[in-house]
Amino acid sequence: MSKRRDPNYQVVFAPHPYPTDKPIVFLSGTIHYPPATDWRVHLQSSLFHLPITLLNPVRPDWDSSWKEDINFPPFKEQVNWELGGMEASDVLAVYFGSNTEAPITLMELGLAAGKQGKRVVVACVDGYKKKGNVQVACEKYGIEVVRDEVELARAVLVKLRELGVEGA
């Protein structure tokens, strides 16, 4: 039996407002560019049958020439959206892909790691340059680490089940 899209399932991209009346999963991690597989797309297709909101910080209108400075309004709006989304989330799904440093993802993991009650799960693939650092930090703070986006989707489902999300 195939799963059907839940009518309350929603993906919200930065910098759009998002509802807070249902469970929120924030997608933190490496941005893949074609032809690489986008881990976020895999999570979206694995969770569409649930009454949840996925917060995807990838911004379709992002311009790489934008200045990363607090005084540049679009940049500040993006960072504030991400920080607010992480704080509002019930589950933080973090992905570290290979061949990347992912400094923002490391910062986001660090911000969430020590927070009591925050449900965090991390995928750290072979080839990620700072995998050892991620593993040690996650071990210290009791955060589950998995190998890839398939295991990440399964782990997020477990966290949502723990929250009592119907269908997880």
Token look-up 């965090």 returns 120
- CB-based contact 82:58 (threshold 8 Å): no
Q: What is the model's pLDDT at position 99?
A: 82
- Mean pLDDT, rounded, for 25-29: 97
Find how far residue 62's CA is from the centre of its chain. Answer: 18
The sheet carrying 24-29 orders its strands as: 10-13, 53-56, 24-29, 91-96, 119-124, 144-146
Tell me which residue of 122, 119, 121, 123 sits closest to 164, measured CA to CA. Answer: 119
Domains in the chain (CATH in brackets) are: 10-163 (3.40.50.450)
∠ CA 18-33-35 to the nearest 5 degrees?
A: 130
- CB-based contact 93:152 (threshold 8 Å): yes
What would the pLDDT profile of 6-18 be if each residue is shown by its tens digit?
A: 999 999 999 999 9
Whether this model's pTM surpasses 0.85: yes
Residue 53 CB coordination number (10 Å): 23
Q: What is the model's pLDDT at position 3?
A: 84
Find how far residue 29's CA is from the centre of its chain. Answer: 6
Q: How far apart are CA 106 and CA 101, in angstroms?
A: 9
Q: How far apart are CA 123 and CA 40, in angstroms?
A: 12
What would the pLDDT profile of 65-91 be if each residue is shown by its tens digit?
A: 999 999 999 999 999 999 999 999 999
Q: What is the model's pLDDT at position 114?
A: 82
What would the pLDDT profile of 85-112 be if each residue is shown by its tens digit?
A: 999 999 999 999 988 889 999 999 999 9
